[in-house]
Structure 1
Amino acid sequence: MARPRTPLLDRRRIGAAALRIVDEQGVLTIPALARELGVAPSALYHHVSGRDEIISLMREALALETATDDWDPTQPWEQALEAWARTYRAAFATHAGAVPLLATAPLAEPFMHAMYEKVAELLLTAGFATGQVMLLINALESFILGSALDLVAPPVMVSDVPRETAPHLAAVLDDTPTDHRRAELAFDTGLRALLTGFRALLPR
């Protein structure tokens, strides 16, 4: 029998399929991934060593879909960091269901190292101390990932508030958007506050 012109499996297909599954179901299992690809589970191990490598391929698929490096590190550090935060959030927002898995798996991929290298250089050049830089990146990432999840959350997260027992909260909610603008305004407000706080942490 002649060999098929296009292989049934390759690493890029595996990563893209895994990203779809986790985005839809929130979990990743080898049997589910094999079903999605229409192969036996054992066939996957001809291309990947296991779950950790599949997660790495998911990150690669996400990077291919979205321009997480579409920012200019030669800008003033606050502008560049804001641009990075926005592109990073946009990338994760397209696959918010995968955020819990991707955010808790160690980052060993060279393309991820290259991204962090640019951010680290940006912050060091701005004058932050070496001991501050990873903490600042982690703090900003935590906010970005939470904001990506907020984009797919219901527009109204706090509801049915009795005005008699919580009058201040009710008044606040009266002046809060009840559509997608809530998440966008929350992200803008939080990002502005973080960058202002980062500036205050610059060594004198």
Structure 2
Amino acid sequence: MPAPSPASAGTTPRRRAGRPTAAVLDQTVITKAAVDLINRKGYEALTMAALAKQLQVAPSALYNHVASKDDVMLLIEDHVADLVDVSAFETEPWDAAVRRWAWSYRDVFSQHTPLIPIIAVMPVANAPKTLAMYEAVTAGFRRAGFPQEQIISAVVALEAFIFGAAFDVNAPEDIYDAGSLAERTPNLNAAVDSLAAQGHKRPTDVAFSLGLEALISGFGALLAGKG
């Protein structure tokens, strides 16, 4: 009687030589791995070698899809921008559209705060989804009659506020507790106690709403003055 083959003996047969039937990597997989790596270890930990290790592939396999770390960062920039809701600029009044965009923007980056110092200063060239976001926003400002020469400045001002607010979402609730020096800060203590007495479950949301509405009102005054 012939001896059983390795397959019939319960061992796994070797894969045939050649390309696998499905791609191991694609840009989506690479982007998610890179975002995870930065969120866990910081931007400095993102190298092509570290990314390949996280993906459990040889660096040469990674270079088949992205040429450099800069290419990876473009993918990340686009990935995050694509999560931000700009749809209201096509369907709602300017102030409502800015409001929805800003809240969405803050919520997205509050989950990716390690990316803020990087993306906040990244050029948008060659990042199609990022460019689509800014095109929607600037088009909305322009349709509303906002002074053309002030549109970019207004967007930058909003982004500066949004990025700071995204960090604030993750701040400790007792960040303004004066501790053993409380007797030196009666006005601060009274303001903190007053906020707590209102029973707000998420004071960061209250702060964001207050600041955002102030910005929208100020920009609205520019629109009114232009008219």
CA–CA separation in structure 1 for the residues paired with 2:128 and 2:92 = 24
Q: Identity of counterpart residues, as a percentage?
A: 38
Q: Which amino acid aligns with 2:214?
A: A
CA–CA separation in structure 2 for the residues paired with 1:47 and 1:54 = 9
Equivalent in 100, 109, 117 of residue 83 of structure 1: 100
For 2:215, what is the secondary structure of its paired residue? helix
The Cα offsets for residues 158-184 of structure 1, whole Å up to 9 and x where unpaired, read as: 223423211111111212349861211
**In the alignment, structure 1 residue 152 sits paired with structure 2 residue 173:** no
CA–CA separation in structure 2 for the residues paired with 1:153 and 1:97 = 14
CA–CA separation in structure 2 for the residues paired with 1:156 and 1:42 = 48
CA–CA separation in structure 1 for the residues paired with 2:66 and 2:48 = 11
CA–CA separation in structure 2 for the residues paired with 1:129 and 1:164 = 48
CA–CA separation in structure 2 for the residues paired with 1:179 and 1:33 = 41
RMSD: 2.1
Equivalent in 187, 193, 197 of residue 214 of structure 2: 193
1:74 aligns to what? 91
CA–CA separation in structure 2 for the residues paired with 1:180 and 1:34 = 42
**In the alignment, structure 1 residue 164 sits paired with structure 2 residue 164:** no
1:99 aligns to what? 116
Q: Which amino acid aligns with 2:91?
A: T
CA–CA separation in structure 2 for the residues paired with 1:142 and 1:63 = 15
Unaligned runs of 5+ in 2: 1-16
Unaligned runs of 5+ in 1: none
| 8 A contact 1:156–1:179 mirrored in 2 | no
* Count of residues in Structure 1 that have an aligned counterpart in Structure 2: 203
2:26 aligns to what? 10
Per the normalisation by structure 2, the TM-score is 0.81
Greater RCO, 1 or 2 (C-alpha within 8 Å, sep 6+): 1
| 8 A contact 1:92–1:145 mirrored in 2 | yes
| 8 A contact 2:33–2:51 mirrored in 1 | yes
Question: Matches of residues 33-182 of structure 1 in structure 2 within 5 Å?
Answer: 33-63=51-81, 66-108=83-125, 109-161=127-179, 162-177=181-196, 181-182=202-203
